[in-house]
């Protein structure tokens, strides 16, 4: 174990029963087939590989999934890298310890640079465990309210004809926003066709970082379609040029990949690089950071919405609880699990009705439970500590 871990000693409230003792952990990699391949500007996904963490303590289980990919094509983190960091660093530093709250746990995680997706797995699983130990729904501890959240769909890259069919279907199902994935050569004509067929729907596009300043004519053309926002047109590590482009557009820019922290959000909003932020709890290191971003954005009057990463029911449930916070005022990417998977790994169906997703469960924590029969059949790797 690196020396730094041994020296990180969090304050324990030993003996008074407060908090939860983390006794052991289980780590899996699962592989869920996708009903339809999901194509974005940076690549195609035909199946969803998901690292899954279960923290166990005091007869309870806290569960979370990671949003990193097998290869670093969305952001830098990868599943193999996260598995090693979890196995060798993060899990040894928390197992056998009692944490009074996620803030105490965060004191162990936050000194490490980067690796926010891996840290988020631990943090989110602990929030679930902590909520269960207090016997309250996760949303209550997060400060959210309400029983439903507004949701939209994210449509992968396909022909104009296929996209129009998918948009028709999403609109018919009552989804409250349609997001089209775009890339060079698959942008203005596509948006024009969808807009022509549906003049009044809430429509957005997501370029997943693929444009540069040389694509300015495309971004200016997209400005004419009354889009609710243009998501992450430029590089994942760029704020400066997003500010340049935002100054030339009436349409809001929404940042996704560029925002890892509340400090990033503050700088982006101060610079005028965006007017909307996509918050993915798994991307930013967990709920503490997600809430901090939410609060910074509220202070700037910038709406936020909950992003998605084709999560299983575990991540989807976490996202729904987060989206109950007040400034999540735009529909999130939390559509029905059945759009992605023939069968989910949780027992509770997570299906949108009229563009709303119900907060799962009436009970404690994230409100969904693992379907172990199915989980075992899709598990590629299993280890425990």
Q: Which of 154, 312, 327, 369 binds ligand OSB (CB under 6 A)?
A: 154
Q: What is the footprint of Mg ion within residues 225-254 (CB under 5 A)? A: 231
154 binds, among ligand OSB, Mg ion, none (CB under 5 to 8 A by kind): ligand OSB
3-state secondary structure 181-193: ECECCECHHHHHH
**Catalytic-labelled residue, pool 119, 132, 139, 181:** 181
CB of 206 to Mg ion, least distance (A): 4
Q: Which of 310, 320, 350, 368 binds ligand OSB (CB under 6 A)?
A: 310
3-state secondary structure 226-243: CCCCEECCCCCCCCHHHH
- Number of Cβ within 10 Å of residue 165's Cβ equals 12
Nearer Cβ to ligand OSB (19/282): 282
- Report how many residues bind Mg ion under the rule CB under 5 A: 3
Among this protein's residues, is 181 annotated catalytic?
yes
Strand 60-65 and strand 98-99: pairing?
Answer: unpaired
Q: What are phi and psi of 75, to 5 degrees?
A: -130, -170
310 binds, among ligand OSB, Mg ion, none (CB under 5 to 8 A by kind): ligand OSB
Tell me if 256 contacts ligand OSB by CB under 6 A: yes
CB of 107 to Mg ion, least distance (A): 31
Cα separation, 216 vs 209, whole angstroms: 13
Tell me if 307 contacts ligand OSB by CB under 6 A: yes
- Number of Cβ within 10 Å of residue 381's Cβ equals 12
Nearer Cβ to Mg ion (228/256): 256
Cα separation, 292 vs 288, whole angstroms: 6
Q: Which of 333, 345, 346, 365 binds ligand OSB (CB under 6 A)?
A: 333
CB of 254 to Mg ion, least distance (A): 8
Q: What is the footprint of ligand OSB within residues 81-120 (CB under 6 A)? A: none
Tell me if 104 contacts Mg ion by CB under 5 A: no
Cα separations (Å) of 133 from 44, 276, 290, 384? 40, 35, 22, 22
How many CA within 13 A on the CB side of residue 11?
A: 7
- Here's the x/- map for Mg ion, 199-228, by CB under 5 A: it reads as -------x----------------------
Q: Nearest Cα to 311, choosing from 102, 130, 121, 178? A: 121
The tokens 């028709």 sit on which residue? 168
CB burial readout 149-159, b (16+ within 10 A) else e: bbbbbbbbbbe
287 binds, among Mg ion, ligand OSB, none (CB under 5 to 8 A by kind): none
Tell me if 256 contacts Mg ion by CB under 5 A: yes
The tokens 């996620």 sit on which residue? 102
Among this protein's residues, is 4 annotated catalytic?
no
Binding span for ligand OSB by CB under 6 A among 56-64, 132-140, 217-225, 307-315? 307-315
60 binds, among Mg ion, ligand OSB, none (CB under 5 to 8 A by kind): none
Spatial contact of 15 and 46, defined as CB atoms under 8 Å apart: no
289 binds, among ligand OSB, Mg ion, none (CB under 5 to 8 A by kind): none
Cα separation, 319 vs 281, whole angstroms: 7
The alpha-helical segments, DSSP class H, found in 223-312 are 240-246, 262-271, 281-284, 287-299
Residues with a catalytic annotation lie at 181, 280
Residues that bind ligand OSB (CB under 6 A): 40, 74, 154, 206, 208, 256, 307-310, 333, 335
Residues that bind Mg ion (CB under 5 A): 206, 231, 256
């Amino acid at each position: 174990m690196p020396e730094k871990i041994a020296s990180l000693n969090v304050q324990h409230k030993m003996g008074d029963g407060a908090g939860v003792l983390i006794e052991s952990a289980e780590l899996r990699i699962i592989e869920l087939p996708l009903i339809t391949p999901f194509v974005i500007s940076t690549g195609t996904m035909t199946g969803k590989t998901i690292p899954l963490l279960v923290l166990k303590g005091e007869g309870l289980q806290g569960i979370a999934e990671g949003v990193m990919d097998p290869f670093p094509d969305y952001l830098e983190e990868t599943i193999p890298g996260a598995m090693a960091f979890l196995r060798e660093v993060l899990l040894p530093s928390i197992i056998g310890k009692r944490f009074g709250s996620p803030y105490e746990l965060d004191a162990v995680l936050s000194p490490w640079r980067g690796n926010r997706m891996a840290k988020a797995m631990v943090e989110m699983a602990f929030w679930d465990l902590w909520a269960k130990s207090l016997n309250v729904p996760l949303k209550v501890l997060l400060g959210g309210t309400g029983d439903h959240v507004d949701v939209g769909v994210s449509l992968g890259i396909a022909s104009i004809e296929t996209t129009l069919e998918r948009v028709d279907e999403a609109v018919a199902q009552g989804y409250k926003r349609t997001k089209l994935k775009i890339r060079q050569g698959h942008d203005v004509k596509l948006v024009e066709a969808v807009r022509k067929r549906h003049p009044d729907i809430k429509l957005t596009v997501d370029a997943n970082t693929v444009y540069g300043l040389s694509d300015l004519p495309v971004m200016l053309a997209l400005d004419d379609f009354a889009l609710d926002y243009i998501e992450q047109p430029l590089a994942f590590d760029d704020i400066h040029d997003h500010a340049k482009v935002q100054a030339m557009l009436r349409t809001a820019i929404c940042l996704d990949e560029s925002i890892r922290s509340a400090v990033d959000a503050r700088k982006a909003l101060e610079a005028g690089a965006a007017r909307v932020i996509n918050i993915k709890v798994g991307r930013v290191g967990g709920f503490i950071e997600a809430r901090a971003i939410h609060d910074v954005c509220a202070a700037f009057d910038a709406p936020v919405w909950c992003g998605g990463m084709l999560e299983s029911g575990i991540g989807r449930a976490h996202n729904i609880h987060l989206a109950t916070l007040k400034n999540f005022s735009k529909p999130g990417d939390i559509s029905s699990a059945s759009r992605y998977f023939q069968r989910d790994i949780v027992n509770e169906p997570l299906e949108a009705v009229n563009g709303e997703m119900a907060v799962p469960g009436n009970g404690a924590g994230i409100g969904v439970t693992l379907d172990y029969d199915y989980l075992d059949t899709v598990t590629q790797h299993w280890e425990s500590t």
